[in-house]
Chains A and B, each alone.
Chain A
Amino acid sequence: ELKVEQNPLFLSMQEGKNYTIYCNYSTTSDRLYWYRQDPGKSLESLFVLLSNGAVKQEGRLMASLDTKARLSTLHITAAVHDLSATYFCAVGPPNTGNQFYFGTGTSLTVIP
């Protein structure tokens, strides 16, 4: 059974600090996605990583993918309150059609 694990599950950090969220997955995949969910809202696509070594950046968020280590990271630089949300990674292994497997999410709270 494919497993997608995120660490940490809960993260409380001060404004201005840096931190990294980790996403490990248990089988080969060449597709990894990051999503953001605000409380009571839907999921919003953040990044699509489609190859080993891929790096994407948007504002204070940067995502990377290491397919050999089966690891993706979401790095937060100089956090601000607006980044408070739950972040999910999702993996789409080959030979599973379009099926995705989601991590359990990381709930991020940025404290002023």
Chain B
Amino acid sequence: EAQVTQNPRYLITVTGKKLTVTCSQNMNHEYMSWYRQDPGLGLRQIYYSMNVEVTDKGDVPEGYKVSRKEKRNFPLILESPSPNQTSLYFCASRGRGGYTFGSGTRLTVV
């Protein structure tokens, strides 16, 4: 089954403790992206990657890092999380029919 797999689904952490949210797709898509979703603000793009070793900032990249060492994986790294990064995060990959989204990661930073 074609899918985008994110882990974990839920995460509660403390301010400043580094964390990584993993994302993997099995559709051989070149393009992958991370979004955060906040009430009233819709979906905002954090980072995207056009291909392996090619990444670029989206609209809200501050406080986040990504890497794309292999085509299927696109992890999101928060080096020093802060409470304003509490949000619902989605990874997505894009093919001909548009985006396929992961199931989401609900992150709470206390």
Contacts and interface: CB of A to CB of B under 8 A. Distances in A.
Contact of B98 (A45, A99, A103, A105): A45
Given A43-B90, A98-B50, A33 B98 contact: yes
A48 B101 contact: no
Interface size of B as a range = 20 to 34
Interface stretch (B20-28, B37-45, B64-72): B37-45
Interface in A41-56: 41-45, 48
Contacts, number: 48
B81 interface: no
Interface residues of A, number: 18
B90 A98 contact: no
Interface of A: 33, 35, 41-45, 48, 88, 90, 97-100, 102-105
